[in-house]
Amino acid sequence: MNSKIFSVTAFMLMSTFAACDGPDSVATSDPEATPQTVALLTNLKTLAARGTMIGHQDALAYGEGWYDEAGRCDFRDACGHYPALFGWEVGELEQGAAYSLDSVYFDRIRDYMKQVYAWGGVNTLSWHSRNPFTGGDAWDVSSSEVVASILPGGAKNALYEEWLDRLADFFLSLKDDNGTLIPVIFRPFHELTGSWFWWGRDLCSVDQYVALWRYTADGLRARGVHNLLWAYSAAGYASVEEFAERYPGDGYVDIVGFDAYDQPNSGFSDDVRARTAILLEFAAAHDKLPAFTETGSEGLKDPEWFENTLYPLLQGQGLSYVMLWRNAYNIPGHFYAAWPGYAPAAQNMRQFVEREDVLTLDEIGLLYE
């Protein structure tokens, strides 16, 4: 065999092995993350180069005019594909409640998450927990002592430990039929650069916010929870420094992102472009996966919003996912994904998801191996 043929053959063999092995595993923030959790992050990093996964909050739980109907999903019914990513909400789980602040039973959420995992989709959880200090809801910003009260030595530390017990029990109950833990993107204390939640910028110091995040992550890890990817998601910011100010550290975060909604006269597109550029710079410097963690245009008043507004903001950016907010069954006009009865928006959403670089469930391949 001459040397050229030998090296071509060797190269082909090496490529074959490389293709079988898949990409080398990337490091998760939790060094003890389960193999499926490591595989998820590894595969999401590769997938982001191909396109952006589309997600929808509470997609299987309810929608425009329906609640908990087997097999129903506004997103799929409007455009023929399931989203790749499914968002769920654990607010009030910490209270030991049976259902979330958006009235979805946690037992059902577990079933939905199991279904999504069986399909090969991605689950993400947000947590609009109640205010442990005042007893109000997540939006109760009447006190700036809340975060301090949770931390060790604080009056609500024991209560918060109970909350962590409940969260840990739930995360550890997320298993497939073989008993394998289902990986979850957990996105607590979100929109932290705003001041509308009790953990917001004006409600606690930088050190307190970082301590809250680490205390939560360490507490869950100490309880044996290793099936989480941690998502740090901001609201508005104007510089890398501002985005980074409350970042809990590379050992506590896997995904970085922001939430932004298209409200009338909010300069949405320019704002998202500016935030994305900053996000991508930060993500590259820290080797974290960038995502657009919540968005939408309430009621889709512009039925061409997906193609005319959203798509140009995603194209070529390398964002892992974009998640549309929920289609509330009991708040008129509070929807963000199209639904079949709203035909012009459904048609536009179908066009959008059929783009090669907008990824639905059927296009993401095997993410957990």
| Site residues for ligand BMA per CB under 6 A | 89, 101-102, 128, 325-326, 328
Looking at the Cβ atoms of 64 and 102, the one nearer to ligand BMA is 102
Looking at the Cβ atoms of 48 and 310, the one nearer to ligand BMA is 310
Q: How far is the CB of 228 from ligand BMA (least distance, A)?
A: 19
Q: How far is the CB of 128 from ligand BMA (least distance, A)?
A: 5
What backbone torsions phi and psi does residue 54 show, to the nearest 5 degrees?
A: -100, 140
Q: How far is the CB of 261 from ligand BMA (least distance, A)?
A: 9
Q: How far is the CB of 88 from ligand BMA (least distance, A)?
A: 10
Distance CA 116, CA 364 (A): 13
End-to-end CA distance of the chain: 37
Token output for 310: 């959203």
Looking at the Cβ atoms of 170 and 325, the one nearer to ligand BMA is 325
Q: How far is the CB of 182 from ligand BMA (least distance, A)?
A: 21
Looking at the Cβ atoms of 76 and 130, the one nearer to ligand BMA is 130
Q: Which of 229, 211, 368, 204 is nearest to 293 (CA)?
A: 229
DSSP secondary-structure letter at 104? -
Looking at the Cβ atoms of 50 and 128, the one nearer to ligand BMA is 128
What backbone torsions phi and psi does residue 14 show, to the nearest 5 degrees?
A: -60, -40
Q: Are 108 and 68 in contact (CB under 8 A)?
A: yes
Distance CA 336, CA 95 (A): 28
Q: Are 90 and 106 in contact (CB under 8 A)?
A: yes
Element (H, E) at 349: helix 343-353
Q: How far is the CB of 303 from ligand BMA (least distance, A)?
A: 21
Looking at the Cβ atoms of 321 and 325, the one nearer to ligand BMA is 325
Q: How far is the CB of 326 from ligand BMA (least distance, A)?
A: 6
- Please enumerate in sequence order all residues whose Cβ is within 8 A of that of 331, keeping only pairs 6 or more positions apart, or say none: none
Q: Are 32 and 80 in contact (CB under 8 A)?
A: no
Task: Output the CA torsion sign for 4, 6, 12, 17.
Answer: negative
The single-letter code of the amino acid at 106 is F
Distance CA 28, CA 253 (A): 8
> What would the DSSP string read from start to end of 11-46?
HHHHHHHHHHH-SPPPPPSSTT--HHHHHHHHHHHH
Looking at the Cβ atoms of 48 and 138, the one nearer to ligand BMA is 138
Looking at the Cβ atoms of 253 and 328, the one nearer to ligand BMA is 328
Q: How far is the CB of 102 from ligand BMA (least distance, A)?
A: 5
